[in-house]
A and B are shown apart, each in its own frame.
Chain A
Amino acid sequence: MSDHDHDHDHDRTVKPMVEEITDFEVLEIALRELCIEKGLFTAEQHRIFTEYSEQIGPTPGARLVARAWLDPEFKKLVTSDPMAASKEVGVDWLDPTGFGTPSDFHAFKVLEDTPKLHHVIVCALCSCYPRPILGNSPEWYRTPNYRRRIVRWPRPVLAEFGLVLPDDVEIRVEDSNQKHRFMVMPMRPEGTEDWSEEQLVEIITRDCVIGVALPKPGVTTNVTTITRPAVRPIAE
């Protein structure tokens, strides 16, 4: 005889372990299906934009900086015509629609650091970020915490990333709250004098072009590498 045959209320507290579809997945699928059935966009457009989104990342941004460090003429182009400079590293801001990605616009500016000026970017309103040339923004960049504090307490926040700058370096926070998208061009660090473009690209991390870190020989990873895993990550 089972000792478990009494009337009990386990079903109130113990649920069977079933991998359920999430509310977000249901909503996304329903909306996408209806949009395609209504002809709001084509399945082909959806496929093209997905492919575009899967190939963007921070490397072109790093390459832009590395090339500017190596070539003074290219550096001039970066500041005078950042769209033309982007094309030189393989990024056309009009891709993939012919007028760009709807959310990233067509106004890009590279903020050049000097020995007396350090830039850091934020979008205190949402998460505006130069996606076409840097890929998606990291989660922390989108959090209210970063957005609330970096505009008001830049030095303490940068210190949390391990970046402490002397008082005679002006810190300039660029709040990209409208259509311009910004990226920081840090200074070339000492100890990289005879390096190739490929070597330089390695140390120009995403965090360096956001402005929460400085490039340093030997450092090729972002400050924060803690990553919360997805339940169902992007399918290969």
Chain B
Amino acid sequence: MSTAAEREEQLALISRLRATYPEVPEWPTPDMITHDHFLAYMKTNHDQGGQLNVPEPFANKEEEQWELMTYVLCEVLGWGGIWVSEERRRIANVDVGLPIYLGLPYYSRWLWSVGRLLIEKGYLSWSELTDRLAEVRERYAGGLDGRLPVAEPKFEGDGSTVKRNGFHVDAVGKGDPTMYAGQADKAKFAVGDRVKVRELPALYYTRTPEYVRGAEGTIADLAYESPAPEDETWGREDVKAEWFYIVRFKQTELWDSYSGPASDTLQTEIPERWLQAVG
């Protein structure tokens, strides 16, 4: 039970979290928001490439037991056809919002995405999750006392009537994206073609990084056929596959301030819908 003082203390903590640009007040009126600010707020926050950062030491970390268990949880939900990994990437890396994206540990966002997905898809009710959270916490109310936390399912449920995607069956023996081979229309581009990355107004999700949008590059390889992640991320299975390409960019053309040699390059993979011919 919290006291009045503790409640005030927690509110003071939350008040310190800054989630908006300092040049615009919180809760702005529409006239205060420029197009650039709009784009910045709408940017899918997993897209970190090219943002400014001072150097910091690179370090490793030992994995927590719950981190491994979280990874396994996410993967077996994929194995069981409850989601595809692209649904997780959106929920855990984008839908969380920037404060949680940057403020909480990597695997805690994977974990957050599981509860969110299961409730949204109707596998679990909010009350079921809440009750179970309280129950688990109660089991360890006096502290762990040397014990390791363990999952204790009350029974193993009958999964035969659970709604599952077709993917987890169709992909067996083939793998993803191998399973989509032969399904796309003829490739629009060939190795060596010059292309420009389109500047699509991508709301909610994309995997085409902002730092290549509008840039010109060269097709280095035809990668594979697959539905685009912008569709897969919503769990849609009725979307036609398209060609993906590995596109090579010159660093001096990607970055105005690139100071390395002109021969340095960067490659990234882009679905056909994002590319247009140059010249």
Contact = CB atoms under 8 A, between A and B. Distances in A.
A28 B69 contact: yes
B109 to A, nearest CB: 10
A19 B145 contact: yes
A104 to B, nearest CB: 8
Nearest to B9: A12
Contact of B93 (A39, A125, A179): A125
Contacts of A223: 58
Contacts of A101: 75
Interface in A211-236: 222-235
Given A21-B144, A231-B64, A175 B133 contact: no
Given A31-B111, A46-B76, A103-B74, 8 more contacts: A24-B67, A40-B77, A49-B75, A93-B175, A97-B172, A172-B266, A177-B268, A226-B59
B177 A179 contact: yes
Contacts of B52: 148
Interface residues of A, number: 96
B177 to A, nearest CB: 5
Nearest to A50: B72
Nearest to A225: B60
Contacts of B173: 94, 98-99
Contacts of A173: 251, 265-267
A179 B261 CA distance: 29
A226 B60 contact: yes
B50 A29 contact: no
B122 to A, nearest CB: 11
6 contacts: A34-B128, A99-B168, A152-B50, A177-B208, A179-B269, A231-B64
Given A105-B176, A107-B224, A124 B59 contact: no
A27 interface: yes
A144 B64 contact: no
B77 to A, nearest CB: 6
A41 B153 contact: no
B201 interface: no
Interface of B: 5, 46-53, 55-80, 82, 84-85, 88-89, 93, 102, 105-108, 111-112, 114-115, 118, 123-124, 128-129, 132-133, 135-137, 140, 142-146, 148-162, 168, 171-179, 207-209, 211, 223-224, 226, 229, 244, 246, 248, 251, 254-255, 258, 260-261, 263-271
B74 A125 contact: no
A144 B162 contact: no
A142 to B, nearest CB: 6
B62 to A, nearest CB: 4
A31 B112 CA distance: 10
Given A24-B64, A125-B93, A228-B59, A31 B114 contact: yes
B66 A148 contact: no
A39 B144 contact: no
A38 B114 CA distance: 14
Given A39-B162, A160-B55, A33 B66 contact: no
Nearest to A122: B49
Contacts of A28: 66, 69-70, 73, 111, 151
B47 to A, nearest CB: 6
A139 B61 contact: yes
Contacts of A94: 173, 175
B175 A29 contact: no
A35 B93 contact: no
A172 B264 contact: yes
A32 B73 contact: yes
A31 B149 contact: no
A41 B160 CA distance: 10
A139 B238 CA distance: 36
A90 interface: no
B69 A160 contact: no
Nearest to B150: A29
A29 B151 CA distance: 5
A144 B102 contact: yes
Interface string A189-216: 0000000000000000000000000000
A136 B63 CA distance: 10
Contacts of A12: 5
A22 B162 CA distance: 31
From B73, B143, B268, residue with most partner A Cβ within 10 Å = B268
A155 B145 CA distance: 49
Interface string A150-186: 0110111100110000011011111111111000000
A127 B173 CA distance: 26
B215 to A, nearest CB: 12
